[in-house]
Amino acid sequence: MKILCYIALFLGATTGLAQQTIQEVLLKYNKQSIPYIYPEMLADIQKDSTIVLLDTREIKEYQVSHIKGALYVGYENFNLQKVSKTIKNKEAQIIVYCSLGVRSEDIAEILQKAGYTNIQNLHGGIFDWKNNNLPLVNAKQKQTDSVHVYSKKWGKWLTKGIKVTN
């Protein structure tokens, strides 16, 4: 009987500590209104195509690191007019990302409502990109392993690289 109590205690403790997967987080916070592209797929097409990559995080996050070639558009200060001047072709292949893919879905929906028709959301955002050992650059365009994790709560999904919080 004592061993059963230990097993139950262990199982209860480990399930309580079980971390959600990135997929579970996205299912919880997103509406799934924008199709996903996965990091490996983006890495493959990034070399050969003329995609428009938009970083929807805040400037301090973008300056720590971003995917090479990504344009900073922000979240809190997102300016559709400015983006529309930069991306005139409403059929351009646009890929948005943030830390995990939650804020980027919001920005993608705004772009979709503005008439953009070919938008994808990077599944797992920059965290999953780095977790897949894909390269990042800093504000000086130098390769870096640092990633701004937005907050401790969200940063737990970054499993590789150097976590930056300030």
How far is Cα 137 from Cα 145, in angstroms, rounded to an integer? 8
- For the chain, list the domains and their CATH numbers: 20-164 (3.40.250.10)
**pLDDT given for residue 19 in this prediction:** 65
Query: Do 65 and 126 contact (CB within 8 A), yes or no?
Result: yes
pTM assigned to the model: 0.86
Radius of gyration over every alpha carbon of the chain, rounded to an integer in angstroms: 18
Residues serving a catalytic function are 98
Task: Give the length of the chain.
Answer: 166
**pLDDT given for residue 48 in this prediction:** 73
Digitized pLDDT (tens) for each residue of the chain, 166 residues in all? 444 333 433 444 333 334 689 899 898 998 999 999 999 999 999 877 789 999 999 999 999 999 999 999 999 999 999 999 999 999 999 999 999 999 999 999 999 999 999 999 999 999 999 999 999 999 999 999 999 999 888 899 999 999 999 8
